[in-house]
Structure 1
Amino acid sequence: MPPHPETWLRVTEAGLYCEPGGFFVDPTRPVDRAIITHGHSDHARPGHAHVLATPETLAIMRERMGEDRAGTTQQALGYGEALTVNGVRVWLRPAGHVLGSAQVCLEWQGSRAVVSGDYKRRHDPTCPPFEPERCDVFVTEATFALPVFRHPPAAQEIGRLLASLALFPDRTHVIGCYALGKAQRLIALLREAGWDAPIPIHGALQRLCTLYETLGVPLGPLVPATVATKDKLAGTIVLAPPSAIADRWARRLNDPVPCLASGWMRVRQRAKQGGVELPMVISDHADWPELLETCTEVEASEVWITHGREEALIHALGQQGIRGRALHLVGRGEEDAE
């Protein structure tokens, strides 16, 4: 009989550890061997000796951390390719979260676990879609694991933005969005909606947008928001980090309409507290129905939850005959394209 994953995959102070393989998945402190699911800083930390990830995630880590901090030795593994580490078979599947994001699939002595990292099930022109992988234990996030979180189609939210722009053609719509993943997805969604004008962006977004294009993701014409005068920015869509839309930086814009793209914009109080005039419910995480559907789709008898609303998800899974377990991993959700 295959060993249960809890006998060879355990939580330590450094994070989730595969004991027979001798490696961690998304460790929170420097370790000898790490497999990284994606490039957000709450999953990809500096200082590991040996790092394995998709080629895109390794490129993102080098861009954000520097070559010397993204792993002393870096090993790229493409989606669907497999290798064996001390008897543990390892392969990666797309997670659909950001460019390069991957689920880490592990199999040892006939027992299979999938560590999904962060993931979404919605359309994203900038990265491959999530691919479910059958397993005995599925390790999932639970960022939006409450019934209230049901994300509308992203195209619908882009339509609301363009309608607001038509209604207020002299105002600058500035969208707060995270630099990795969310910014590039918004740009690509705007291009799909027919917005072909140059998009002014905050300097903090430039490097990763350039990297995305280098990695084969076309974004169209982008210009620095800082070089344009107020009148030149009237009627435009500007992208900036969430912190910038409410500080002195935004004063250079022409009568700005503060927008924020996040799954949290489903909660009106959050939008109100942040001074957001146009909340856009565009998330890079699975919503409540998608979390439940995914856990069913992978046919796992157990689901382990890394962070988020564990209690609600455990209860709902239990009603489907699936055992849920909270791992209480620390340091998750600190920097994320939500």
Structure 2
Amino acid sequence: MRADQILHPTEAGLYCPPGDFFIDPVRPVARALITHGHGDHARAGHGAVMATRQTLDIMAIRYGEDFAAETQVADGPVRVGDTTVSFHPAGHILGSAQIAVQPVKGPRIVVSGDYCCRPNPVCAPYEPVPCDIFVTEATFGLPVFRHPDPMAEMSRLIASMDEFPDRPHLIGAYALGKAQRLIALARQAGIEGPIAIHGALQRLCDYHVEQGIDLGELIPATADRVPAQLVIAPPSAFASPWVQRFADPVIGFASGWMQVRARARQRGVELPLVISDHVDWPQVTAAISHLAPSEVWITHGAEDGLLRWCELEGIPARPLRLVGYEDEPE
């Protein structure tokens, strides 16, 4: 069986005919396999959803318990139609997984979803999965993207807090994954006092704590006077009246995109923190080199840059041109 008969792009997303399922479909389908809980990959309204236990829990928190007609926890290799599928840690956010698809006859395909090879204190580490075809994201798939050590970025945050002790530090971070990682990194860096969080982060932070992740003392950033110098909020909060309760704040944003200074200026970010939950250029090229697949399929992001690198390395590759994927929607 040819690879494109096992998995190919459609308007709804990646479709597997021998298993009759979609991976991270962008519209409601009969059967969906979901890599992780971010809203551009995990949508409500499918007939049946298979994902890790944590991803299913996160989808229930975000969309309600009835987000799908039926759900199934991905636990070990599972037979789906004429394929066997298995889920492996992606290192992106809590519950994130790569999905390996093995047909009865034909090449093994691993769909990485969003993944990160750096250690992340709030999720299981990325696991290289041997495969014939590797489907990789290219969010930061250009040589310019070389993300610094996250702890070095935390040192910059602490230095700013020390320099401006009377100014609250409001840091924008996506509600799922980035906010919790930022809090955990702050604790690792030695920030011991209370950290204030926007109400939109509360339930997801609670779930991380329920899963055994220590985030320390968190307090709501709802009072007129918030007794914490560090405040974490989703990016959408910075365009709302909520932000006006803070006098002369230092505005920061934690994202891999903060390496692009023009983006930081456009957002009015005084303290850009380059902290990403995606592979950067050295990580994605190292991951491909380590796996040594016979072919690479490239999804959303800078597909042309990674396609050119594969060509120079003698690795057959093609872009999938999938649509509907972006940074975590707010």
Both proteins in one fold, TM over 0.5: yes
Q: 1:323 aligns with which of 296, 312, 316?
A: 316
Structure 1 segments of 4 or more deviating over 3 A?
none
Query: Within 2, Cα distance between the matches of 1:295 and 1:55?
Result: 28
Structure 2 residue 58 is the aligned partner of structure 1 residue 100:
no
Paired amino acid for 1:103: Q
Q: Aligned pairs, how many?
A: 329
Runs of 5+ unmatched residues, structure 2:
none
Aligned-residue sequence identity (percent) comes to 55
Query: Within 2, Cα distance between the matches of 1:123 and 1:7?
Result: 35
1:91 maps to what in 2? 86
Please tell me whether the aligned partners of residues 2 and 106 of structure 2 are also in contact (alpha carbons under 8 angstroms): no
TM-superposition CA deviations, 1:214-245 (whole Å, max 9, x none): 22222111111112516x34xx1000111223
1:198 maps to what in 2? 194
Query: Within 2, Cα distance between the matches of 1:47 and 1:216?
Result: 30
Please tell me whether the aligned partners of residues 116 and 279 of structure 2 are also in contact (alpha carbons under 8 angstroms): yes
Query: Within 2, Cα distance between the matches of 1:152 and 1:247?
Result: 31
Please tell me whether the aligned partners of residues 175 and 245 of structure 1 are also in contact (alpha carbons under 8 angstroms): no
Q: Name the SS of the counterpart of 2:317 in structure 1.
A: strand
Q: Name the SS of the counterpart of 2:307 in structure 1.
A: helix
Query: Within 2, Cα distance between the matches of 1:283 and 1:131?
Result: 18
Paired amino acid for 1:100: G
TM-superposition CA deviations, 1:20-70 (whole Å, max 9, x none): 01111011111111100000011001111111000000000000000112x
Q: Name the SS of the counterpart of 1:295 in structure 2.
A: helix
Please tell me whether the aligned partners of residues 171 and 256 of structure 1 are also in contact (alpha carbons under 8 angstroms): yes
Query: Within 2, Cα distance between the matches of 1:14 and 1:251?
Result: 41
Query: Within 1, Cα distance between the matches of 2:109 and 2:252?
Result: 39
Paired amino acid for 2:173: C
Q: 1:286 to 1:336 in 2, by over 3 A?
A: farther
Q: Give runs of aligned pairs for residues 1-338 of structure 1, distance below 5 A.
A: 3-69=1-67, 71-78=68-75, 81-108=76-103, 109-229=105-225, 232-233=227-228, 236-335=229-328
Please tell me whether the aligned partners of residues 90 and 104 of structure 1 are also in contact (alpha carbons under 8 angstroms): yes
Query: Within 2, Cα distance between the matches of 1:268 and 1:4?
Result: 44
Runs of 5+ unmatched residues, structure 1:
none
Output the aligned Cα RMSD. Answer: 1.4
TM-score by length of 1: 0.94
TM-score by length of 2: 0.97
Paired amino acid for 1:22: D
TM-superposition CA deviations, 1:137-176 (whole Å, max 9, x none): 1111100011110000000000100011111111101100
Query: Within 1, Cα distance between the matches of 2:88 and 2:261?
Result: 35
